[in-house]
Each structure stands twice: as structure tokens, then as C-alpha cells.
Amino acid sequence: MPAAPLSRREFMMVSGAATALAILGASSTIVRPLACRQASYGKFPDAIWEHLPSIGVRHVFINVPEPGQVETVKTGLQTHALTPLVMRGGADLSDATCIDVLTPQIDTCAKMGVRYMFLSPKHANAPKEKAIEHLKRVGDIAMSKNVIVSLETHPDLGTNGDIHAETMAAVNHPNIRVNFDTGNITYYNKGCNAVDELKKCIQYVATVEVKDHNGELESWTFPPLGKGIVDFKGVLSVLDEHAYAGPVTIEFEGTKGVELDEQGTKQAIADSVTYLRSIGTFD
């Protein structure tokens, strides 16, 4: 019996981005799934359920639910025709118990059909080596469940593109990858930009968070997309060049000291969606 033909994405993964695009045609459009992080709604997290579908977004990034809440969350998602693309896990990588903490979270992702679990690689006061040792074990567990753990752009294991790449090389596990956060690059680094840093670690990127920023070091000013200094067209160009077809998640964190009401929060997210769709093609 002949083998089933490869999908476009599978073909790119097997053949390599450059070869695949050359054969498929440089003008081929990559349609990436677009999600919004529930935390973007700030004080109004439940607004996401009706608001996202109303602005044409079908995917979400939510926290990994507690075991007793899984069915309730699944029902809510189904009711509003929303699909979870990424779920946020959490544990202190400095402690060996992080394995026991993350294992049920990874299991929940698998049970809910979610391929990607976001993780901030915090490790308290333990050395990087200890955190990396734990991440290798977490990677094995994730592999057994067909889940990818994506490490956020946070110090000190994911501060920028160079450090993301260093951490990936040290962990050396296919199920431990990068969650590239465009806004965190200029928040945590002076003299850097998202496009150049993305190029340094793109081979390891499994999920992307698009977040804008004012460009000032450690300034909590994250406006709607297109209102800050992040070059999103450049970011999408890098993703195109490397045939990235994974999740793109909108994150809106606002500005410190500026309190938005529910309508203002919804408008910021809607404006971000409109802007992103004006420069790229998304599902």
C-alpha cells in the first residue's frame, strides 16, 4: 500500500525550509494558528470566552487547569468553539520536586490534545546546571506524552536569542524548545531587538508570543500591537524564511499605572488582532 502523501508542513519539516519553499514556491503563504493569551484580559479573564470568537479568533492560550477543573474548562472551550493551542505550566526548576509538579501538567496537556506547554524557566538560587538537569528529565516525560515544553524569554535561561540558544544546546532535548516573546527582548536587554534575537534561536522556536514594547529597559509599557517599537513585519519575515508554522499568540500586558476597564481591554486586544492580520496570514 503506498504511503500517504506528506502534508505541506510535514514536507517542510522533512525537506528543510529552504528546499521546501524552493519546490513549493517562494510565494507560498504560511497560515499560522493565531491565539490570544487569557492573561491579556487582566482583571476580566472570563471576557475571553465571548470576545475572542466575536473578533474572529478561534484559538486560546490558557493556564493548565487543575485536574478537577479539566472537564469544566473543556466544556467552556467547546461551548465557545475555542481550541487551546498552548497551556501555561509552572514549577521551580531549582527543586527536584519540579518533576513531580510538571508531570501531571504535561499529562493534562496530552489529555486535552494540547501540543505545547509554556514554562517560565525559573530556578530560584540554584545554578543553571541543576535547572538544565531537571529540564532534560522533563523533556523525557514530555516526549512520552507527545508534548513540547516551550521556555519563555525570561532570565537567566532565556534572556535573549543567544542565551535561548545556549540553553537549548545544553539541554539538548527535542521536547524542550523556545517560546520566543518579542516584547521581552527589549524589556530585559539594552541594545537588542526582536528580529535579530529571533534569528539567533529560530531553529529552536516552537511557539511565538507577539507582544509590543516601548523599547526602554525594564519599562512596563506593553501597548497594543503596532503601537510600540517591535518590528513585527521583520519578525514575520524571519518566521517565513524558516517555514515556521507553529502557534502565534497575542499577549497584551498594558502599561504600569494605567488601568483599563473591560471595554478598553477588549479594544486593545481587538486592535492587536486587526494589526496582526493586516501584516500576516493567520488561521
23-79 pLDDT per residue, tens: 444 446 899 999 999 999 999 999 999 999 999 999 999 999 999 999 999 999 999
Task: Collapse the DSSP code of 149 into the 3-class scheme (helix H, G, I; strand E, B; otherwise coil) and give the result.
Answer: strand
Question: pLDDT digits over 134-186, tens only?
Answer: 999 999 999 999 999 999 999 999 999 999 999 999 999 999 999 999 999 99
pLDDT of residue 9: 46
Query: What sign has the CA pseudo-torsion 104, 245, 13, 153?
Result: negative
Average pLDDT score over the chain: 92
pLDDT of residue 4 exceeding 90: no
CA-to-CA separations, 235 to 177, 181, 275, in angstroms, rounded: 18, 11, 14
**DSSP states of 219-273 as a string?**
--EE-STTSSS--HHHHHHHHHHTT--S-EEE---EETT----HHHHHHHHHHHH
pLDDT of residue 16 exceeding 60: no
Average pLDDT over residues 217-235: 98
**Unique residue bearing C-alpha cell 489529555:** 111
Residue 74's closest CA among 101, 109, 39?
Answer: 109
pLDDT of residue 118 exceeding 90: yes
- Is CATH 3.20.20.150 the right assignment for the domain spanning 31-279? yes
**Unique residue bearing C-alpha cell 499529562:** 107
Q: By 3-state DSSP, what share of the chain in percent is helix, strand and coil, each rounded to 5?
A: 45, 15, 40
Return the percentage of the chain with pLDDT > 90, whole number.
Answer: 88
pLDDT of residue 258: 97
Average pLDDT over residues 7-12: 43
Q: Which residues contact 108 (CB under 8 A, 6 or more apart)?
A: 64, 65, 67, 70, 87
Angle at 56 between CA 68 and CA 50, to 5 degrees: 45
Average pLDDT over residues 120-130: 93
Question: pLDDT digits over 212-222, tens only?
Answer: 999 999 999 99
Looking at residue 98, its amino acid is C
Return the percentage of the chain with pLDDT > 70, whole number.
Answer: 90
**pTM of the shown model:** 0.90
